[in-house]
Chains A and B, each alone.
Chain A
Amino acid sequence: MDVRKIIESLTGTFPEAISEAMVESEIRARAYVDKEKAREVCQYLKDSLQFDHLCSVCGVDYIKRNELEVVYHIASYDHPVVLTLKAALPRDNPEIESVVSVYWNANWYERETYELFGILFKNHPNLKPLVLPDDMLGEWPLRKDYKGFPNTTAKNLV
């Protein structure tokens, strides 16, 4: 399947939800998705465009735009195109629909994004911290305004 056909199909099916869709190369494409429609777009990608492999879910903090972005990298076992799907969330209330019901392996990715960025994934089956201890919940260490980094409490700094 050609990368341009994929983008055309995506923008044709979701004209309101998909924005700034562009082709980077023969194997890379990217698009912004509306946060309300993220799960439906993923469902469509999996069912109709053979995007059956979710590579990663991660977050980016754009503090100057007052936005948090969730980034999905979705690839396929049938064609070589990797789609970078981004969803912009407001920084004071970052909530997005979980895609675990579409891609089961998003479970731990979303838990890690939750503990590091504080992005709340609605309808996630088990949204609790993955790696960090429970008492660090609420600090959101990878946000740009995190106060705990650099940690200067060591008395013998190298």
Chain B
Amino acid sequence: MGEMKEEKTNNSKEIQEEGTIPGVITTTTSAIHNFLKKTKVQDIINWGRKNSLWFMVQPMGCCGVEMIATGCAHYDTDRFGIIPRNSPRQADVMIISGYVTKKYLPSLKRLWEQMPSPKWVIAMGDCSISGGPFYESYSTVQNIDEIFPIDVFIPGCPPRPEALLQGFVELQKKIKAKKDLGTEY
């Protein structure tokens, strides 16, 4: 993104120097975004973003069962605008809901790259935070927070659906306060 912006600004300088469009300053979308981040408009954008956190259904362990239960009718995450989505291309939040094995990490990275920005990660359960009962295993990945920018850690083995809901609410508060790691401010 940074490279793109530099190239574009160079181009606009060239255009200005050549004088093909006199009196017009060209800009780029990223420049507009960077400008908007400093204004009050970003508050409105974040208000919209925090009220439509669609999470990706990608259960990885027993926490995944709680995650599915949270998305179902009984806990009704729809009242917070939190809807389960089956495709990473339609999702905003990835929930790491279980141990990450060395074999699964490339697939998880690929899912993360398929999600369109802005996107956030929630680490759910002891396994994803510290390894849990598998913390000294030969086949699990340690320190998952060095790989993904995790906003909210939800401890528990597994955490209850209410805890996951509270994690979502904390993420909403972070987004509203512009403290989330998903967007560069």
- Which residues of A are in contact with B by a Cβ distance under 8 Å? 131-133, 135-136, 139, 141, 146, 148-158
Contact = CB atoms under 8 A, between A and B. Distances in A.
A42 to B, nearest CB: 31
Interface in B143-164: 143
A156 B102 contact: no
Given A133-B102, A154-B130, A155-B143, A141 B135 contact: no
B138 A154 contact: no
Interface string B91-111: 000000000011100000000
B142 A154 contact: yes
Contact of A152 (B130, B136, B139, B140): B136
Contacts of A155: 142-143
A149 B131 contact: no
Interface string B115-139: 0000000000010011110011111
A154 B143 contact: yes
B132 A158 contact: yes
Interface of B: 101-103, 126, 129-132, 135-140, 142-143
Query: Chain B binding site: helix, strand, loop or mixed by DSSP?
Result: loop
29 contacts: A132-B102, A132-B103, A132-B139, A133-B102, A133-B103, A136-B102, A136-B138, A136-B139, A149-B136, A149-B137, A149-B138, A150-B136, A151-B135, A151-B136, A151-B137, A151-B140, A151-B142, A152-B136, A153-B142, A153-B143, A154-B130, A155-B142, A155-B143, A156-B129, A156-B130, A157-B130, A158-B130, A158-B131, A158-B132
Contacts of B103: 131-133
A158 B138 contact: no
Contacts of B143: 153-156
A58 to B, nearest CB: 17
A131 B130 CA distance: 22
Contacts of A158: 126, 130-132, 135
Contact of A141 (B126, B129, B131, B139): B139
A153 B147 CA distance: 14
Nearest to B104: A133
Contacts of A135: 102
